[in-house]
Amino acid sequence: MAKEQRVYKAHCLVLPYPSQGHINPLLQFSKLLDHKQVKVTLVTTRFIYNTMYRGSSCTALDTISVETISDGYDEGGRAQAESIQVYLESFWKVGSQTLAELLEKLSGSGCPVDCLVYDAFMPWPLDVARKFGIVGAVFFTQSCAVDNIYYHVNKGLLKLPLTDSEILLPGMPPLEPLDLPSFVYDFGSYPAVFEVVIGQFSNVDKADWVLCNTFYELEEQVVDWMPKFWPLRTIGPTVPSNYLDKRLADDKDYGVNLFKSNNDACMQWLNEHLKNSVAYISFGSAARLGFEQMEELAWGLRRSKSKFLWVVRESEAAKVPKGFIEETVEKGLVVSWCSQLEVLAHEAVGCFITHCGWNSTLEALSLGVPLVAMPQWTDQSTNAKYIRDVWKIGVKAQPDEKGIVRQQEVEHCISEIMEGERGKEIQKNAMKWKELARNAVDEGGSSDKNIDEFIAKLVKR
């Protein structure tokens, strides 16, 4: 149905932080709003639009409008800035001004904006929304458990540097220091990024809605505690509908990709292998493993009895040991990029070795794929704790005293999931969470109800 023929209940402006891991969850949420007759205008920076959106095959963009604002670096984006701090200060200053200009333009369009949904990494859009008298909904792209930790740090309720060997926070299991996000247990590392993640809570108390990319059943205890001080609603997992409830026709991918995919080669290779026989390895779009860790991972894959599909971005390719690809051609495939969802959904994949970023964790959980957690930094260590000890859908690879996961450990972790008795229990738990994730987003599920409530409040307003 053409855009102009549709009747909309409300109009939401959706503003993600300009990186793939933040854009895709908010784009998926936009698709859900559009499906429920809410007009959505997705806002991105001019640089991101020129590099990621032009020529996009995403069918959602047929009905979702895309507008741009400036971050002050229209030609080169964040990479052009001297530092993350300089970039964010520019985005705050220039972004606030150009976002206000966009809202002014849309206010006279015949379909004024009712709500601004903005990424929690950028608190300043709420101030712009307030000036225009529209609802502000902050969107968190990490788990509620991680939000809870950062909130306690922001409020001074969790003192840093850490001195206790056990950390007790409401709604969460007992945590060791290394179970906390890296910026918390290694206080002083990456201070600029620390300010970003803790700064998410600088004005969250003033938001009309707090939306979280998780689902109630996954984090019941912490989700029950957090609404005591926030108007929090879980609306995830924001995974394309084709892999969950199948209510959105043709919703098979996110629609925004940084890299060219080797998908056909991957699917053809996977089709030649037995069910649950392949270990899939990917560390996302940004993680950088050291040379020694890449070598140990490679030799661990060679030692393993399982076949493997390993995603090594072009920027990381030089770290693969010389001759490894030729030596393992009979048991493995190394590609520069592929559609993670399609790979995880393939029946040949029996485990997923990853850093456990939140998007990757949700994807694996939603598709019932057991995980081998190799956290690198940020919130990944907390996600790994939940994967192993709370949801029991995987194992955590143990590093040595140098912080390197050795090849014997890589081999052991793959074997434990793919061959051992513990692996059978992990597989069973993974399938349980897959069903619960599907139920949450399906009609009448916990996340679906929360989205309907959000829309109903906008319509009443």
Contact between 445 and 439 under an 8 Å Cβ cutoff? The reply is: yes
Contact between 279 and 302 under an 8 Å Cβ cutoff? The reply is: no
Q: How many CB atoms lie within 10 A of CB 197?
A: 23
C-alpha 9/C-alpha 39 separation (Å) is 7
CA-nearest of 68, 69, 90 to 80 is 90
Contact between 135 and 38 under an 8 Å Cβ cutoff? The reply is: no
Catalytic amino acids? 22, 119
Name the percent of the chain in helix, strand, coil, to the closest 5. Answer: 45, 15, 40
Kindly list the distances between the CA atom of residue 248 and the CA atoms of 34, 78, 382, in Å, as whole numbers in the listed order: 10, 33, 32
CA-nearest of 151, 153, 123 to 137 is 123
Contact between 378 and 182 under an 8 Å Cβ cutoff? The reply is: yes
Residue with tokens 């409530």: 453
